[in-house]
Amino acid sequence: MFGDEVEFGASTFGMDYGDPKAVVPAALRFARRGKGFVGGAVAMARALGKLPGMPAVMRAHCEVADLLAARLGFDAAFRAALVQNNERWNGGGGPNKLKGEAIALPMRITQLAFDVVIGFKLGGVDGARARAKQLAKKSLDPALVEKFCERADEVIAAIDVPSVWTAFLAAEQTPHKEVSGDAVNEALATMGTFSDLKSKFTRGHSGAVAELAASAAKSAGLDETMQQTLRRAGLLHDIGRVAVTAGIWDKAAPLTDLEREKIRLHTYVGERVLARAPALASIADVACLAHERLDGAGYHRRLSAASCPPAARILAAADVYTALGEDRPHRKAWTRDEAAAEMTKMVDAGALCPDATKAVLSAAGHVVKKVDRAHGLTDREIEVLRLIAKGFTNKEIASSLDISTKTAGHHVQHIFEKLGVTTRAAAAICAMSKGLTSV
């Protein structure tokens, strides 16, 4: 709808997204920017046509948040409050039109905090008070707004600090919850799943890279510790993807220089994200080098061959092989033989490591993926679910599988029922968590 959802969010910062009178004109103005009279009119018409789909987006946000929270081990009470994020005190939100105290108290407090932070950024303590009062009885609980306004200076002091991140961690109650072993793997897999959801062309990419890299490490004779490091690095290697607009990731036309630079920066963003967790340092050291090349043409550091350790070389080769076998906006997926031939060319050109490439190709040739029959899905439903995860519409699914659009729709509904979801984004999460996004 917006082309660049990141820029749209920045340009409408401080707007009450629950107020159609404010949001719709802003969306139309954004849609027509820089397109001239005719192009702008067409863009606005397209945006208007997509606006009725926003409730579905809202529901998808809630369902995906719930599924991710479940994978991270959060309890039912927390998850029940989490999915109420877009509800409003006056009942005008969604997806369930909850009203007043039917919205869980923790979420009502969180909603207040969200708008207080915006108000503070725009106008200090007075701005925070003004925004809270403006939204009282609309999106915010008026009783909580009144309590906040009485103690605004004290509350705002918690975030008026040099590092909110440090203050937040210092405020965490003890004993701190810690995870280890399989729980770490599941948490990192959840992060990878979230980053893969950014584009319809990358659903399941991180998990596939992780498994291939770990198998290649074993094939190359690396120890179990390094195999685990590579698996975890594969899960996190594209976590910075979320900072780049989906409009760039899904763009079929040639990218501009600026767009390419934004893509190159996603590894830097990922590096900064992972730097927040010292326990992940050894994984981050590998994950952030996934797009480096031995000839110095990679990104974001443009390292030389001497600066790329063996683990990073394997991860880079695993990422290239996996990506070549996936659809992209500008091309269809390559066959296994085509991908192997392309990697051989990259080795000859000095971009990829010969030993790492050999290990990856060896691992890829011997890995037999087992189809997960979770939730009682049929073979056909698994085929449809894979296409849902790739962002296909019912019409596109029908064309791909040579069935009618109506039949495709029936399959989609049956899949939703079996998975216990109602949106395609949530179904994609389920597909990725079960490893069903690739054959």
**Could you read off the pLDDT of 413-432 as tens digits, one per residue?**
999 999 999 999 999 998 88
> What local confidence, expressed as pLDDT, does residue 43 receive?
86
Question: What is the domain range of residue 163?
Answer: 84-170
Higher-confidence residue: 234 or 173?
A: 234
Task: Examine the pLDDT at 153 and tell me if it is beyond 80.
Answer: yes
Task: Examine the pLDDT at 3 and tell me if it is beyond 90.
Answer: no
In this structure, are 207 and 289 located in the same domain?
yes
In this structure, are 111 and 194 located in the same domain?
no
User: Residue 136 — φ and ψ, nearest 5°?
Assistant: -60, 135
Instruction: Decide if 271 contacts 292 (C-beta within 8 A).
Output: no
Domain boundary pick from 311, 336, 366: 366
Q: What is the DSSP letter of 353?
A: -
Calpha distance 435→372 (Å, rounded): 8
In this structure, are 36 and 164 located in the same domain?
no
In a domain, 438, yes or no: no
> What local confidence, expressed as pLDDT, does residue 15 receive?
87
Calpha distance 406→13 (Å, rounded): 41
In this structure, are 261 and 360 located in the same domain?
yes
Q: Is the pTM of this model over 0.95?
A: no
Task: Examine the pLDDT at 377 and tell me if it is beyond 90.
Answer: no
> What local confidence, expressed as pLDDT, does residue 374 receive?
59
Q: Which CATH number do you get for residue 334?
A: 1.10.3210.10
In a domain, 77, yes or no: no
Instruction: Decide if 287 contacts 233 (C-beta within 8 A).
Output: yes
How many CB atoms are located within 10 Å of the residue 309 CB? 13
User: Residue 347 — φ and ψ, nearest 5°?
Assistant: -65, -45
> What local confidence, expressed as pLDDT, does residue 303 receive?
93
In this structure, are 260 and 301 located in the same domain?
yes
Task: Examine the pLDDT at 20 and tell me if it is beyond 50.
Answer: yes
In this structure, are 127 and 191 located in the same domain?
no
Amino acid identity at 299: Y
pLDDT band at 56 (very low <50, low <70, confident <90, very high): confident
In a domain, 234, yes or no: yes
pLDDT band at 373 (very low <50, low <70, confident <90, very high): low
From residue 27, how far is each of 8, 38, 44, 51 by CA, in Å? 8, 17, 8, 9
In a domain, 64, yes or no: no
**How many domains does one find in the chain?**
4
